[in-house]
Amino acid sequence: MANAGAFLTDDSRIRRYKDRVARYSVIAGGIFVLLTLVLIFFYLLYVILPVFSPARITPVQAFTVPLSDTRAVMLNDQGTAAFHFSSSGELSLVPLNPKATPVSSLSVSVMEQPTSFAAGLPHEQVFAYGDARGGVRVVKPLVHQGQLRAAYPLDQTYIQLDPLGQPLVRLAISVRRQVATLVGLTQDHRLVAKVFQRTHGLDASAQDWAETTLSMPEISEEITAMIATPDGRSLYLLAGDWLRAIDLQGVKGSIRLQQNVSRGSGQPVAMTALSGANSLLITGANGDVVQWFEGVKGGRRQLIAARSFEAAQGGLQQLTPEYYRKGFFAIQDDGTLNAYYMSDSTHPVLSTPLFIKKQGQLPELMAISPRANRLLAIDGAQWQLFWVENPYPEVSFHSLWRKVWYEGYPEPDYVWQSTSASDESEPKLSLVPIVFGTLKAAVYALFFAIPLALAGAIYTAYFMSTKMRRVIKPTVEIMEALPTVILGFLAGIWLAPLVETHLIGIGLCLLILPLAMVAVGFGWAFLPGRWHRRVPTGLHILLLMPVLVLVGYLCFAISPMIEQAYFNGDIRSYLTNVWGIGYDQRNALVVGIAMGFAVIPTIFTIAEDAIYSVPSHLSNGSLALGATPWQTLTRVVLLTASPGIFSAVMMGLGRAVGETMIVLMATGNTPLLEWNVLEGLRTLSATIAIEMPESEVGSAHYRVLFLAAFVLFIFTFFFNTLAEIVRQRLRDKYKSL
C-alpha cells in the first residue's frame, strides 16, 4: 500500500493534477466572489455612514470689537470677514482671523440718522436704511481691492418711498436678479410699497429698473414684522394675532390670505423667514416657534401651521436661518444652542450648552456663513466665532422612511424630488416611493411571468414530446440573451402606445385567453378517440396556438366598438373623469408585460430543469398504481420539483427587483405610492441610473443614491437567502419521495 503511488500511470498523475487544479480554482473563485461582495458591502457603508454623522460645533476664537449698536452682521462667502451694520447708519468690515485677534476695521457711512433698518433674505445679501423724510437707501456690502464699499443694487443711491415724506419706522426689502420689492411702514401707520422690474433698452446688454408704486391696504392692528418674498408676489405682515399675505401682483395691494397665528404659544412677537421665504417662523410670547406656509388644504388655499419647535428649557431666541438650506439656529433661555432642519420633524439636529448664562445676558445676535460652516455670536463688543460641522442635516431616518410635511403640501407625505429649479427649494429624499416602485414593478412583472413561465415549464418538461422540447427549450433560453435595453426601447416606443390605443383589448385578452384555453381543453376531451390518435403525443399545443391568435385578434378588433358604446369613445378620459383612476401612457401594465417577458426565460429554464430532473421511476410508479397523468403531476412530480420551482420564482423576483433599463425607459419614472396598474412608478435601480451621473460627489444626494444601492443590495441578499432556506426545507421534506 505504501508504494501504491508507484503504480499510477502518467495519465493518472496528470488527471489527478488537473482535478486538484480545478478544485482549487473553483474554491479560489468562490472565495474571491465572497470577498468582492463583502468589499461592495463595506464600500457602500463607507460612502453612506457620513450622512448620519452627528452635527458638531467647535469654538474657534473669542475677541473684542470696538463696534456697538449692532443691527445686523453678515459673513462673507469664505467666512473670513464680517460686515457690521449699526443703528446709526455705519457699515464696517471686520476681518476674522483665527490666528490673531482682529483689532482694526474699515467703516463707511451709509445714511445719517436712520429711522428704520431691514435686511433681505440671507441669500440676497442686501440691506436697507429708512430716514425721517420717507426715503430709503438699499445697499449691498462689497470689498474691492481691499477697500470696503457700499454698492447700490437698484442703481439708485436714494429712493423716495413715501411721497408724503413721513418717517419710515419699519422696512421690508427683497432684491433678486429680475425683481425687487421695497415696503415701508410710515409713522402715521401707512403702508407704502414699490416694485422694481428689470427692463431691456435698445442695447440688449443694458438693463434698467422700472419702478411701480403700489397702493396698499389699511391695517388697523400694530404691525410688528414685515417680510417681502423674493419673487415680488407677496408681502407677509404680522399684525397683532394675525398673519396676512398681501398680493403685490394680482389685485395689487389686496389681502389675499389671513390667519390667526396666536394658537397656544401666546401673542406672536417675531417673524423670521426661512430660505426662499416660502416658510415663516413665528415666535410666540412663551418662546415656542411655529412654521407657517401657504398651501391648498380642504380645496382652498390657506396658511398652514406645519410644525412647532419647543425648547427643552424656556423659550427659543435669536432665530438665525441658513442661506440656502431649510434650517435655522436658535438659543434657549438656558444658553443651549439648537440647530433645526425642517425634514427632521421638531427634534434638533444639534443641541449643545454652548453659551453660559451670565447675569441674564445671552448673545444678542448671531450670523451664519453662506456655507453654513461658521457661526458668529455677538454680545455687545464681545464676539465669538465657531466652526460648524453639519453637512447633511436634510438626511435622517425620519426624512428617509417617514412622512415629512414639506413646504406647500397640504399634509405630510412620502416624496422623492432630489432636484429643483431653485437652490432654495428643500430636497425631498424619501426612499419610500422608490422602494415601493421597485416592489410594484417586480410584483406586476411576476403576475405576468409566473403563470406563463411555470405553465410552459410544466408542459415542456412533462407533456411535450422530446423532439419538440429540443426546439422549444433552447428557443426560450435564447430570449434571455436579448438585451433589456431593446426590450425597454420597444416597451416605451411601441408597446406603450399600443396599450393606450387598445386598453380594452388588453383587458379582454387577460380575461378571455385563459377561458379560451380551458374551453379548448374541455372541447378536446369530448372529441372522439380517433381524433386524439391523429395528433401525436406532445404536439397538442399546435392546435391551441391558432385559437389563441384568433381570440387575441378578436379582442383587439372589438375593442374600439366597446370603447365607443360604453366609454364615450375615450377610455382614458372615462377612467379619469368618471372613476377617478389616473392613467399614464408609460405605466405599470407596460412594465409588467415588458419585464415579465424578460423574466420568463429565467423562471422557465430553472423550473423546467427541476421538473424534467424528477426521476422517471416516481412518475412511472404513480401511473402503475392507477393515478392519472394529472394526479401524478400535481401530487408527485411538482412536489418533488418544488425546491427547484421555488428557486426559479425567487430568481425571477431578484431579476425583476434589479432590472434597470426596462423600468428606466418604460415607466415614466414618476415616484408614486399607488398600486394602480395604469399609473407609472420609479424604482431604485432607475433612480440610481438617472441621477448618479448628475449628482455632486460627496453631496447628500450622492450619498443617498449610494444608500438606495445599499437597500437594493440588501433586497437581493434577503430574497436569495430566503430562497435558499425555503429550498432546503422543501428538499428535506420531499427527499423521501
Cα of 255 vs its chain's centroid, Å: 35
Buried b (16+ CB within 10 A) or exposed e, 565-602: eebeeebbebbeeeeeebbbebbbbbbbbbbbbbbbbb
pLDDT tens for each residue of 428-481: 999 999 999 999 999 999 999 999 999 999 988 888 878 888 888 888 888 888
Q: Is 449 helix (H, G, I), strand (E, B) or coil?
A: helix
φ, ψ of residue 709 in degrees (nearest 5): -65, -35
Q: What's the one-letter identity of residue 399?
A: S
What is the distance between the alpha carbons of residues 704 and 692, in angstroms, rounded to a whole number?
A: 10
Contact 302, 349 (CB under 8 A): no
Q: How far apart are CA 610 and CA 631, in angstroms?
A: 18
Backbone angles phi, psi at 611, to 5 degrees: -70, -40
259 is written with which cell numbers?
390667519
Identify the pLDDT of residue 103.
Answer: 43
Q: Give how far Cα 623 sits from Cα of 24, 608, 617, 699, Å.
A: 45, 21, 10, 66
User: For residue range 296-348, what is the model confidence (pLDDT) as tens digits?
Assistant: 888 889 999 989 888 777 788 889 999 989 999 999 888 889 999 988 776 88
d(CA 587, CA 479): 23
Helices (H) and strands (E) in the chain, counts: 17, 31
Query: Tell me, what's the pLDDT at 5?
Result: 52
| Residue ranges of the chain with per-residue pLDDT less than 70 | 1-8, 98-106, 201-207, 251, 264-265, 346, 357-360, 421, 532, 537-539, 734-737
For residue 46, give the 3-state DSSP assignment: helix
Q: What pLDDT, on a 0 to 100 scale, did the predictor assign at position 433?
A: 94
Looking at residue 1, what is its pLDDT? 47
For residue 649, give the nearest of 462, 453, 487 by alpha carbon.
453
For helices 541-566 and 503-525, what crossing angle results, to 10°? 140
Q: Indicate the domain borders of the chain.
A: 4-52, 432-734
Whether the model pTM is above 0.75: yes
> For 689-720, b where at least 16 C-beta lie within 10 A, e where not — what string?
bbbeeebeeeebbbbbbbbbbbbbbebeeebe
Question: What integer pLDDT is reported at residue 357 of this predicted model?
Answer: 63
For domain 432-734, the CATH superfamily is MetI-like (1.10.3720.10)
What is the distance of C-alpha 553 from the center of its chain? 42
